[in-house]
């Protein structure tokens, strides 16, 4: 049916017979090999050959990234000489280019997970290829675990797990000592040079990368350059700067996860000009760019990480592991001897983690549990993870989900939980956004949520404190730090493009704001808005700045962060924890030295009840980013958590009935006390 050929110059081609035999003889095969050895493009064809006429279902191949799934599926269709979208297709969120004739189906791993819900036995497939397993994202770990069980129920299903040459033993062990085939690529030696940055400034990083590129292009008269940058924005800026400096003699290209497919195709078809490709870690192992001789590595990447202080997930820029750095360097040695310039010191490299930690160990277990429930993967406690999470982490995951009202007492998903699982953000943030949508304050909440995920953008230089304070005063809001954040955002000139950046820079300077953090804030806000907009949410519905609506939204996601005032700057949070207001908060009160209050007299304007966006444990427990809340909201939004105690039945002469005192507690804090007649003691339903 197919005209199957293998490019002679790919290392995997030489091992073809052996690989096909292994797939025929074993249910699971682990295939390890250097990036570019031909795993992704050639394996589906070998699967076709291994199955021969017995191929009943499809060959499904999962990819961690959309850009890789798309480009590789096109390549395979081309190699098999069939139109893309028919025998060879590609499916991802919001686009399905497969047909009834599709034999080889590329997809993102999220798609295969989603298919488990409607086809738990995955009957559509005869062979599955789990590509890039070394990335150990949550999706990959879910699939590895689920498939282990499924393979026992479906002896006819075959699985090939492919990975860079990292930790292949773990995969083999996980699948009952499955055979490992290692395809050693023809790798040329790569010289590593270290060129640490003068400071930790991001601007310097781009500047340094650009001059390293210029040096490389001069040093050698042939070969292309690949630059690794942590974020999309860094990539764009580096590209713009390079284009300005290099002129039209060279071609400068950007490569990142979410980009137009026309631009993607250009990556694989270099013209006559020498090229500089500026990429995120998508070029680390997912996508092989031809002709690279030089690699410039910043050693940084965006890595998702759960932040227990805000109970949300962040995507901070972090240093990559040694194994990542080595993969990156390897990109330089595919065609001939290569050179990798690391923009860091050698001992910095030596001090780094050997391997990147699997996502499950950095993740919010609440999110993991919710996703496992949504995908119908079974219970987290008994799920065969390669690295199972700790009991303590699982427990706090459940606690958070109960607090958010996503699960009921029997650990089943509530309707709200189902809604949360649909949102592509972590559950705490998701809960706030759902509430904000109801309260018609979503645009404001998006701004605040993004603002909370970056460090405070206000700068307070020691030698210029008064003027900074005076500048910041414009955004001051006596009972809410969140509203201050919103006001900063609203004050910023919102123009885009280069001129916009200059305007922002100027604005920041005269208002004592960090330009970098403001930019980061915009980036996170954009990411968040884009993810939600992808889901077809109306993001613009706002009643205008309604502070109560905003604070109720925050409270809905942070019911565990409420606190009751005890004395100046000192609050009691749930679980009997003493928290201190952070001195940078608007609500913090400095002791007035001139007018000492009389003992027993408290002139404070501090609100009795607050919610904190963040609780930080440093020298003591600090509540950061706080706002005054109305305690009635707590019982309203946290009804499912409240415990009600009744006491002191007494006869009311006025009403002629027996009344009891109802006291409502949340995490041990008394949030409400009222007299009720005995009959109506049913708890109010939560919202
Ligand atoms: O998966 P692995 O890293 O082992 O290699 P691959 O992605 O199968 O790539 C094998 C070769 O095909 C590389 O030289 C790529 O540059 C090339 N390729 C291409 O030219 N166009 C694509 N869309 C994908 C791969
Ligand atoms: Mg590959």
Q: What is the DSSP string of 650-668?
A: EEETTTTEEEEEEEEEETT
Span from the CA of 222 to the centroid of ligand 2 (angstroms) = 26
**What pLDDT was estimated at residue 115?**
96
**What pLDDT was estimated at residue 172?**
97
Span from the CA of 476 to the centroid of ligand 1 (angstroms) = 55
> Collapsing DSSP states into helix, strand and coil, what is residue 476?
coil
More confident residue, 264 or 639: 639
116 — pLDDT class (breaks 50, 70, 90): very high
Contact 424, 535 (CB under 8 A): yes
% residues pLDDT > 70 (the chain): 94
Ligand nearest to the CA of 31: 1
Spell out the long-range contacts of 305-310 with Cβ–Cβ below 8 A and sequence spacing 24 or more: 305/362, 306/362, 306/363, 306/364, 306/367, 306/426, 307/453, 309/614, 309/615, 309/616, 309/617, 310/428, 310/452, 310/453, 310/613, 310/614
Ligand 1, CB cutoff 6 Å, lining residues: 10, 33, 35-42, 71-72, 75, 268, 288, 290
More confident residue, 603 or 523: 523
245-259, 278-292, 556-570: which has the highest mean pLDDT?
A: 556-570
Residue ranges with CB less than 5 Å from ion ligand 2:
39-40
Span from the CA of 268 to the centroid of ligand 1 (angstroms) = 9
This prediction's pTM: 0.87
Ligand nearest to the CA of 7: 1
Q: Please determine, for residue 260, whether its predicted confidence score (pLDDT) is greater than 70.
A: no
Span from the CA of 76 to the centroid of ligand 1 (angstroms) = 10
Where is average pLDDT lowest: 227-236, 265-274, 292-301?
265-274
Give the atom of ligand 1 at the shortest distance from the alpha carbon of 35. Answer: 3
Mutate to test the pocket of ligand 1, among 36, 160, 277 (most ligand atoms within 8 A of CB): 36
Q: CA 267, CA 287: separation in Å to the nearest integer?
A: 9
Where is average pLDDT lowest: 149-158, 227-236, 265-274, 465-474?
265-274
> Collapsing DSSP states into helix, strand and coil, what is residue 381?
helix
Span from the CA of 35 to the centroid of ligand 1 (angstroms) = 8
Q: Please determine, for residue 627, whether its predicted confidence score (pLDDT) is greater than 70.
A: yes
For residue range 648-659, what is the model confidence (pLDDT) as tens digits? 788 888 888 888
Q: Please determine, for residue 195, whether its predicted confidence score (pLDDT) is greater than 60.
A: yes
Span from the CA of 43 to the centroid of ligand 2 (angstroms) = 10
For residue range 154-167, what is the model confidence (pLDDT) as tens digits? 999 999 999 998 88
% residues pLDDT > 90 (the chain): 70
Ligand nearest to the CA of 134: 2
**What pLDDT was estimated at residue 684?**
46
**What pLDDT was estimated at residue 681?**
45
For residue range 311-344, what is the model confidence (pLDDT) as tens digits? 888 778 899 999 999 999 999 998 889 999 999 9
Q: Please determine, for residue 203, whether its predicted confidence score (pLDDT) is greater than 70.
A: no
Q: Which residue has the tokens 């309707």?
A: 415
Mean pLDDT in the chain? 90
**What pLDDT was estimated at residue 687?**
42
Distances (CA, A) of 516 to 206, 242, 499, 513: 13, 21, 16, 9
**What pLDDT was estimated at residue 679?**
53
Mutate to test the pocket of ligand 1, among 15, 75, 132, 266 (most ligand atoms within 8 A of CB): 75
Span from the CA of 40 to the centroid of ligand 1 (angstroms) = 7
Secondary-structure breakdown of the chain: helix, strand, coil percentages, each rounded to the nearest 5? 40, 20, 35
More confident residue, 545 or 489: 489
Nearest CA to 644 among 653, 634, 656, 652? Answer: 634
Sheet holding 224-228, edge to edge: 190-194, 338-342, 292-297, 224-228, 275-279, 251-255
Give the atom of ligand 1 at the shortest distance from the alpha carbon of 334. Answer: 14
**What is the mean predicted confidence (pLDDT) over 2-12?**
93
**What pLDDT was estimated at residue 676?**
81
């Amino acid at each position: 049916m197919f005209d199957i050929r293998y490019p002679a110059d790919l290392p995997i081609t030489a091992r073809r017979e052996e690989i096909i035999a292994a797939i025929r003889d074993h249910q699971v095969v682990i295939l390890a090999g250097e990036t570019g050895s031909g795993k992704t493009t050639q394996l589906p064809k070998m699967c076709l050959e291994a199955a021969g006429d017995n191929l009943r279902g499809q060959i499904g191949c999962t990819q961690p990234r959309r850009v890789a799934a798309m480009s590789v599926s096109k390549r395979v269709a081309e190699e098999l000489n069939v139109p893309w979208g028919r025998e060879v297709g590609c499916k991802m969120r919001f686009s399905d280019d497969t047909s009834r004739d599709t034999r080889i189906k590329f997809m993102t791993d999220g798609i295969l997970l989603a298919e488990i819900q409607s086809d738990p036995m995955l009957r559509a497939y005869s062979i599955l290829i789990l590509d890039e397993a070394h990335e150990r994202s949550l999706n990959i770990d879910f699939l590895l675990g689920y498939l282990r069980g499924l393979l026992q129920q479906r002896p006819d299903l075959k699985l090939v797990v492919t990975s860079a040459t990292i930790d292949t033993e773990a995969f083999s062990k996980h699948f009952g000592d499955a055979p490992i085939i290692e395809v050693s690529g023809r790798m040329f030696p790569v010289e590593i040079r270290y060129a640490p940055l003068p400071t930790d400034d991001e601007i310097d990083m781009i500047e340094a990368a650009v001059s390293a590129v210029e040096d490389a292009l001069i040093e050698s008269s042939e070969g292309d350059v690949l630059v690794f940058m942590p974020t999309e924005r860094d990539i764009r800026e580096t590209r713009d700067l390079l284009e300005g400096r290099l002129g039209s003699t060279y071609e400068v290209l950007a490569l990142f996860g979410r980009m137009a497919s026309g631009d993607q195709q250009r990556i694989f078809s270099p013209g006559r000009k020498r090229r500089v490709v500026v990429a995120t870690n998508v070029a680390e192992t997912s996508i092989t760019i031809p002709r690279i001789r030089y690699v410039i590595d910043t050693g940084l990447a965006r890595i998702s990480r759960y932040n227990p202080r805000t109970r949300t997930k962040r995507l901070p820029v972090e240093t990559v592991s040694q194994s990542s750095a080595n993969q990156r360097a390897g990109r330089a040695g595919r065609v001939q001897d290569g050179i990798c310039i690391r923009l860091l010191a050698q001992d910095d490299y030596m001090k780094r983690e050997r391997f990147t930690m699997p996502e499950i160990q950095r993740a919010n277990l609440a999110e993991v549990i919710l996703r496992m429930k949504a995908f119908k993967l079974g219970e987290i406690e008994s799920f065969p993870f390669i690295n199972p999470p700790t009991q303590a982490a699982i427990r706090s995951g459940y606690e958070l989900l109960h607090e958010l009202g996503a699960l009921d007492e029997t650990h089943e998903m509530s309707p709200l939980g189902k809604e949360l699982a649909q949102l592509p953000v972590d559950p705490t943030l998701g809960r706030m956004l759902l509430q904000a949508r109801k309260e018609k304050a979503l645009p404001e909440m998006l701004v605040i949520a993004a603002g909370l995920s970056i460090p405070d953008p206000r700068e307070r230089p020691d030698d210029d404190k008064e003027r900074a304070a005076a500048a910041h005063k414009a955004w001051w809001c006596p009972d809410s730090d969140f509203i201050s954040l919103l006001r900063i955002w609203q004050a910023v000139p919102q123009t885009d493009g280069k001129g916009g950046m200059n305007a922002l820079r100027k604005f920041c300077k005269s208002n004592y704001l960090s330009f970098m953090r403001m930019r980061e804030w915009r980036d996170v806000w954009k990411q968040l808005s884009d993810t939600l907009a992808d889901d077809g949410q109306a993001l613009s519905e706002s009643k205008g700045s309604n502070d109560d609506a905003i604070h109720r939204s925050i409270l809905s996601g942070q019911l565990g962060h409420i606190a009751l005032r005890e004395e100046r700057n000192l609050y009691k949070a749930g679980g009997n924890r003493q928290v201190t207001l952070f001195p940078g908060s608007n609500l913090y009160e400095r002791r007035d030295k001139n007018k000492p209050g009389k003992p027993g007299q408290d002139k404070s304007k501090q609100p009795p009840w607050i919610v904190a966006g963040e609780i930080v444990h440093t020298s003591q427990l600090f509540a950061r980013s706080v706002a005054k809340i109305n305690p009635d909201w707590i019982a309203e939004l946290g009804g499912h958590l409240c415990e009600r105690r009744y006491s002191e039945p007494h006869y009311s002469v006025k009403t002629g009935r027996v009344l009891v005192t109802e006291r409502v507690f949340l995490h041990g804090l008394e949030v409400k006390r009222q007299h009720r007649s005995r009959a109506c003691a049913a708890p109010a339903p939560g919202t």
